[in-house]
Amino acid sequence: MFHRWCIGLILGAGLMAAPPAPGRTQAWVLALDGQGGVVGDLKPGDLEVKVGGKVRPVVELKTPAQTADAAQSWVLVFEPIRDTAMRAIAFTAAADFLTRVPEGDRVLIIARGKDSLESLMPGFSLRRSLWAEALAKVPDLLPEALVGSPQETLQGAGFNAAYADGSDTPAGQEALTALLNRFRSGAPAWAKGTTDQRGINVLDRLNFNNPMLVAGMLATISRELKALESVMAHVAPLPGQKHMVVFSRCESDDMAHPSVKRAATQSFKRERGDGGGPAESATLANRDMTILQMSVKAKAVASGVTLYSVAGAGQNILGSIGNITAATGGFAFPLGNGLDAQFGQGIQVFGSRYLLRWADDGATAASPALEITVKRKGVKVLAQSQL
């Protein structure tokens, strides 16, 4: 556990950065130098704001040092993960991440159960021992696939916006550290799951030869993402920065795989009475997944939630949520070796943002384009592209 503000942090090459969470006349802005280090000394004159193509005067700029002490809210969501090794990496990275959450920030942990997303806590909590207790349940609870018929709202312990408790540091921090050590030293099978079969084409994994089955899976994914949106609705009224981290490697990520998009234009051998095949299934998947992702992105932006994804295998394979994190202000992390170090360190950057406010000209255009540029050489700013 440490303070959020750290100017000298350098992000690893695999960290894919993106924008922050906005409001009608404000945005959370992240400024980085050429090596990924946080730049914390920009002045109002260093930034230019355009909304709908029109320059707006900057009326306030709070630096990361000034916003660092404000409490933030974190939601960790565990969607199904197939492979034992990937599950272990995800759970360990989450435990390491929680040990580093700044004092005063609140956490809510949610995991996919037998049928639906379930809250493992009664609400956002300051109590670190409760975080550890909830995370310890995830390996046994989390399925390997999107089984069942998901409800479109959060299940389990539900969510009580009025829930409040007190910090239990240092005892709670010790509980988190003990859990992290247990995860790191556990026998290979502690994370559950099964060893993922290598070399299987995504189209074969999802049975793209059968459009009916693909359509059924897309319906399941739709209900799952509606449940995720319901969580954002719960989080929306909270003050300050709100972050949601989604861990996953399941059918929803496969449906967003680049090979599915390519398959829509490929030729396949047709069989009598096959009712379609991979090309038809891929066309359906591309269309539906695009609609679903846009819906999740819009809900996150409207709720002021910054999304982070731990799912994909690399820069071009980001997973379902990873494809939209950039539009909400978050990052996409590959789910692979070295995740815990990169992800745990990243928390110093997540909250190291400027709060930028500008004057409103009274325009009523829906979702105007937002462009924030920096005049200082060698500095890049990241902000949402729409209000």
| 122-166 tens-digit pLDDT | 999 999 999 999 999 999 999 999 998 889 999 987 788 889 999
Selected residue with higher pLDDT from 345 and 24: 345
User: What is the per-residue pLDDT for 92?
Assistant: 96
Residue 88 pairs in a beta bridge with: none
Angle at 364 between CA 238 and CA 44, to 5 degrees: 65
User: What is the per-residue pLDDT for 1?
Assistant: 54
- 3-state SS assignment for residue 212: helix
CB 108 within 8 A of CB 243: no
Position of tokens 């924008």? 19
User: What is the per-residue pLDDT for 167?
Assistant: 96
> What whole-number distance in Å separates Cα of residue 251 and Cα of residue 148?
13
CB 296 within 8 A of CB 152: no
Task: Say which range, 161-175, 195-209, 286-300, 308-322, has the weakest mean pLDDT.
Answer: 195-209
CB 358 within 8 A of CB 26: yes
Closest listed residue to residue 299, CA positions, set 222, 234, 232, 368 = 232
CB 369 within 8 A of CB 386: yes
Strands 26-33 and 354-358: antiparallel
**CB neighbour class for 36 (10 Å; exposed up to 12, middle 13-18, buried from 19):** middle
pLDDT above 70 coverage of the chain, percent: 89
pTM score: 0.87
- List all residues 6 or more positions away from 222 whose beta carbon is below 8 Å from its beta carbon: 288, 292
Residues 236-282: pLDDT tens digits? 999 888 899 999 999 999 999 998 888 887 766 656 555 557 888 88
Selected residue with higher pLDDT from 53 and 179: 179
Q: How confident is the model at residue 363 (pLDDT cuts 50, 70, 90)?
A: low
User: What is the per-residue pLDDT for 241?
Assistant: 85
Does residue 211 surpass a pLDDT of 80?
yes
